[in-house]
Amino acid sequence: MRPLEDIRILSLEQYGAGPFGSMHLAELGAEIVKIEDPTSGGDVGRHVPPYAEDGDSLFFESFNKNKSSVLLDIRTPAGREAFHDLVRSADAVYSNLRGDVPAKLGIRYEDLEDVNPRIVCCSLTGFGMTGPRAKEPGYDYVLQALGGWMSLTGEPGGAPQKAGLSLVDYSGGFVAAISLLAAIHAARRDGVGTDCDVSLYDTAVSLLTYPATWHLTEGYEPARTHHSAHPSLVPFQAFEAADGWLVVGCAKEKFWQRLTVVLDQPDLATDPRFVTFRERDRHRDVLVPLLEELFRGRDVATWIAAMAAAGIPCAPIHDVGEALTDSHTVARRLVAETDHPRWGTVRSLRSPVRVGPPGDDTPPARGGPAMGEHTESVLRGIGYDDERLAALRAAGAFGPPEEH
């Protein structure tokens, strides 16, 4: 058995952050039942261009492997009743909606504790369920701006930049997954569920980490750095070689000593301006231009080979295609293949979360579910028969009756 095969999570999730978090739990064996609203086209991720058509999208496939989909309008009396029956069978209700929506939909612990006292209600929202921004929608771009990230990204003197990926969304998904597992553990231990009030805003601000500590304690003013340089460790940044770019990271003094040998500049190791981290940071305006000139003298492959032989942290700066075909990506089996009725074979990425001995076989992956694909099977699994399903359909629980 996979580690989470005894866990069922009902997920009112959409777009990226929420589905990203639950996808890792699904790969670990949890049953993720997506509750999709039939009146709104289901998860909005189904419709994200450019590769989208008729409720299928490659964006959706990226975040929804190994899940089930149930069509259910929980705002209707019949849909609400069916939802409560599902809650009785579940460990958690998970959502990523605006901060005031969980109360409106009745998916907080106080709304569901009479239905299932052990239920965990995890709400991943933009700004949390308290505070002055609680009712505001939260998107990754917005959170990168508010959280200070964009002020730190890009070249000095240039425009503020977002990170190339939606890292607040994805980090928020991981935070939600950790919170869910902790709360489910406590509910099974204590017999009482709870809420998890998780937010993208909290995630973004908390990821400021040590620059925030420096600022709060010593008044340090974080700023953008030249060629993505580390704020205090020198050299630790991108350098341009004769035919491309590489990253060199002297995170320990021994790496700097080795680098001076690779560069054929042993005098730099004993130059009093460069002998320690502190001195190199103080004199970075002298040292970095010197290093940049040296690195431009050879191609990337030559530098990488020499530094790797010396045990210096380094890497070529890959584009996306190069990252996906790197020999280590292949060896770690990070690419999953799933069947799809429209695209044939979808190649997407596995979860990095691993439980088991190194080299264990990859668990089989199912592609993202069609909208409502598992409505009948999931409801039959909690005891619904043909008559009950027909009554739900007639009452609009699966969408307007005339559509069925």
Residues serving a catalytic function are: 230
DSSP 246: E
Side-chain-side CA neighbours of residue 92 (13 Å): 37
Place of tokens 């009743």: 81
Cα 118 to the center of its chain, rounded Å: 27
Which one, of 243, 253, 259, 350, lies nearest residue 301 by Cα?
A: 243
Using the 8-state DSSP alphabet, how is residue 237 labeled?
E
Contacts of 204 (CB under 8 A, 6+ apart): 143, 144, 146, 147, 148, 149, 168, 171
The residue type found at 404 is H
Residues in the chain: 404
Q: In sequence order, what are the residues at sequence separation of 6 or more whose Cβ sits closer than 8 angstroms to the Cβ of residue 360? A: 354
Taking the alpha carbons of 52, 53, 55, 56 in that order, is the dihedral positive or negative?
negative
Residue type for position 220: Y
What number of CA atoms fall less than 13 Å from residue 62's CA on the CB side?
16
In sequence order, what are the residues at sequence separation of 6 or more whose Cβ sits closer than 8 angstroms to the Cβ of residue 20?
63, 169, 170, 173, 174
Long-range (24+ apart) CB contacts under 8 A made by 280-288 are 280/234, 280/235, 280/256, 281/232, 281/233, 281/234, 284/229, 284/234, 287/234, 287/235, 288/226, 288/229, 288/234, 288/235, 288/237
Residue 361: which residues within 8 A CB-CB, separation 6 or more?
none
Q: Which residue has the tokens 């199912």?
A: 366
Terminal alpha carbon distance of the chain? 38
Look-up of token digits 């993202």: 368
